[in-house]
Chains A and B, each alone.
Chain A
Amino acid sequence: MSTIKTIEELSNEVIEEFCVFDEWLDKYEYIIELGKSLPLIDEKDKIDDNLINGCQSRVWLACEMKEDRLYFKADSDAIITKGIISLLIRVYSGQKPADILASDFSFIDQIGLKENLSPTRAGGLVAMIKQIKLYALGYESR
């Protein structure tokens, strides 16, 4: 039996963590802390091929497959964006392509970051989710 937690379990963990914040300010401060603390990608992976289109800030997303699971690494030059990416990576890195494709990414909405899901949003979260799904689709169809 694998000890890797499922997308649902990890999403619920994040949702629980965000429950303690009633103020948007505390929530954003937490996201900013996440953004500041994590080195998410090697400098060598910060190449144009890994840049995501559709983000106002620069976002790099790299993906590799080990065994039957996808591992994501990412970074952004904007801190809030980077903080949100780190949540995405926490939930989706280490999962199987089919499970990623089946996920509706609704935990973002549930932790109160729904406005970041608008297609024009500066953070480009929609573009990030699309890219994660594209990787999953690409590996699944191999």
Chain B
Amino acid sequence: MSNPASDIRNQFPGLQNTVYGRPLIYLDNAATAQRPAGVLALQAQLGERENANIHRAVHKLSVDATNRYEAGRSAVERFLNVDPAVGCVVFTSGATAAFNLLATCFSARYLQKGDQILISEAEHHSNIVPWQLACERTGAELVVVPVEEDGTLSVAEVEKRLTNRVKLVSIAQISNVLGVVNPVREIIAAAHAKGIPVAVDGAQGVVHAACDVQALDCDFYIFSGHKIYAPTGTGILYGKRRFLEEMPPYMGGGDMVDTVSFARTTYNTLPLKYEAGTPNFTGQACFVPALELADTLRYSAEVKAQERAIVAYLAEELLRIDGLRIFGLPDDLSTKIPLFSLAVEGTHPSDLAQILDKLGIAVRSGWMCAEPLVRRFSDRGMLRASFLPYNTMAEAEAFVAGLQRAVKMLK
């Protein structure tokens, strides 16, 4: 089998780095992906030659910049297979900003005292805290569906909590800790059967799972650009128009208005109604090359085969380490993405991560912005290694060898 990762790797200058004199093995992809040369080049080009504020002026530079920004939006719409008659893509600075927008505006329009928002136990803080704030403002309650011991989310557990008090289900397609694809399609169907809309946190899902919003029929879909090869400070909220039209604006200011007078302001049409202020127009424009690459990768049989091989290898080899536990390991590995969170008895994740760092291996340790979930399984936090198509099997092997070495040093 040829090695698809080596061709892909050449497109990523960040992967050519050395740390402490060793070649970098970058396995913190669930936090941030490296950016390909095409994205880095476009960022530089736009800064040098097409830098002007968008949507406002008639001069050429502004028109060009506006076109680039809107091309970024079209790229996202294509990637998510958005039906423009049904929904639209609002640009945000990232998934966290998108959740704050959604929680603020949705709660202002639809939430009242005694209502409920349903989330799972395996949510990122960005899909917990904005809802807690919304609940404090409205008197609504947050209801939490537990995950199973193997990290899977049971549709039945969700379904039995779908009472008429629930006004929205907001759930991760893939937890950034457990790395298991959740049955969001089934959850959405169950919620819709009771007239309840569903928001999907696609921060990990957009990279590793099917994210066709028409097929999912989700009401909202959220992701960050920097996890899918785009620059930091980029992200989106996809929403169905019927909700986005009804909800009030989020922030007030430039570009979100139609006309302003001191007596009354009317708002711009979708999606600009939710895009107050000068947005990250350079960053959002870079969705074009970023998603072009992501699109190639998601349909590559070679990439898929390598990903499956890495998952199978890690699921087997990691468990050979004495005292090691993997969190999120279903029997059916077809739903497991190449993201492994673990703990080794008698060692602290931060110690393991520090030794791996010295070996040139970048991994995450701690609570991973999902403290309630991590605490349930491990009171000292976890160690997480997360892979993208540019990671090789050799890197997976180096990770296992490095971990064995670190454990030996610490025990």
A residues sitting closer than 8 Å to B (CB atoms) are: 24-25, 28-29, 32, 56-57, 77-81, 115, 122-123
Contacts and interface: CB of A to CB of B under 8 A. Distances in A.
A79 B380 CA distance: 13
A24 B357 CA distance: 11
B20 A24 contact: yes
Interface residues of B, number: 17
B11 to A, nearest CB: 28
B354 A80 contact: yes
Of the candidates A25, A29, A32, A79, the one having the most CB atoms from chain B within 10 angstroms of its own CB is: A79
5 nearest A-B pairs in the assembled complex, by CB-CB distance: A78-B348, A122-B350, A56-B350, A56-B366, A80-B351
Contact of A122 (B20, B347, B358, B366): B366
Contacts of A28: 354-355, 358, 409
Nearest to B358: A24
Contacts of B409: 28-29, 32
A79 B348 contact: yes
A122 B358 CA distance: 13
Given A28-B358, A81-B350, A122-B350, 8 more contacts: A24-B20, A25-B358, A28-B354, A57-B380, A79-B351, A80-B355, A123-B350, A123-B354
Contact of B380 (A29, A32, A77, A80): A77
Contacts of A77: 348, 380
Contacts of A79: 347-348, 351, 410
Nearest to A122: B350
Contacts of B347: 79
Contacts of B20: 24
B348 A57 contact: yes
Contacts of B151: none
Contacts of B350: 56-57, 78, 80-81, 122-123
